[in-house]
Amino acid sequence: MVIPGDIALRHCNSQPLSLDFDYSPSGTLPSSETLEKAAKVLNDAETVTILGGAGCAGARAELIEVAGRLKAPIVHALRGKEFIEYDNPYNVGMTGLLGFASGYQAMMNCEALLVLGSDSPIPAVLSKRREDYSSRHARRADRPSNTSGCGRCGHRKRDPRRSLSLA
């Protein structure tokens, strides 16, 4: 509902109208089988990148914990900036039209992209461009690898003992 400012600022003699909505946060939880499959994909991937959005607002600590376990850089969408960016050791920047190359590189160079709290169309765009990108940058494969990660996009070498578990 949109109310013009001059009307909204007028004094009202009536009691406030209550619509009696019972607000309770909704949630969707995938089946345990689906969660097990997702955990396997993430644990088996050598490099994982997390794309976080505004839906991570109430789960910042959990997001950073998952990033730590996966040794995954976190890229954030514009609407997730205020919840994800500040004081985050895994943050590599924003993606999208106003984003940074580091976020784009992290998403292009990962084996698995975990999208949390975002309805950004970027993963769909990436899947179309990834094959072309890989062929253009294949010449980098003969360069010596950095033992601490790739350096350009925040990926770190993972300790195979630290993986996700649903327990």
- Any domain includes 148: no
Residue 110: name the closest of 120, 102, 121 by CA. 102
Amino acid of residue 18: S
Residue 53 lies in a domain: yes
On whether residue 147 sits in a domain, the answer given is no
Give the pTM.
0.64
Q: What is the pLDDT of residues 42-99, one digit of tens each?
A: 999 889 999 998 988 888 999 999 999 999 999 988 888 888 888 889 998 888 667 7
Domain residues for the domain of 122 are 32-139
Burial class (CB in 10 A: 0-12, 13-18, 19+), 108: middle
In a domain, 97, yes or no: yes
Residue bearing tokens 């607000």: 23
Is residue 49 in a domain? yes
Rg (CA), the chain: 21
- In angstroms, what CA-CA distances link 131 with 97, 138, 142? 21, 10, 18
Give the tens place of pLDDT for each residue, 108-163: 888 888 989 888 776 666 665 555 555 554 444 444 444 445 544 555 555 555 55
Q: Number of helices and strands (H, E) in the chain? A: 6, 4
Quick check: is 8 in a domain? no
* H/E segment holding residue 114: strand 112-116
Please say whether the beta carbons of 45 and 110 come within 8 A.
yes
Only one residue has tokens 């600022």, namely 9
Query: Side-chain half-sphere of 34: how many Cα atoms within 13 Å?
Result: 4
Counting beta carbons within 10 angstroms of the beta carbon of residue 155, is it exposed (0 to 12), middle (13 to 18) or buried (19 or more)?
buried
CATH of the domain at 76: 3.40.50.1220
Predicted confidence (pLDDT) at residue 101 exceeds the cutoff of 90: no
Phi, psi of 166 (to 5 degrees): -90, 5
Number of domains, the chain: 1
Residue 162 included in any domain:
no
Q: Would 11 be classed as within a structural domain? A: no
Over residues 101-110, mean pLDDT: 84
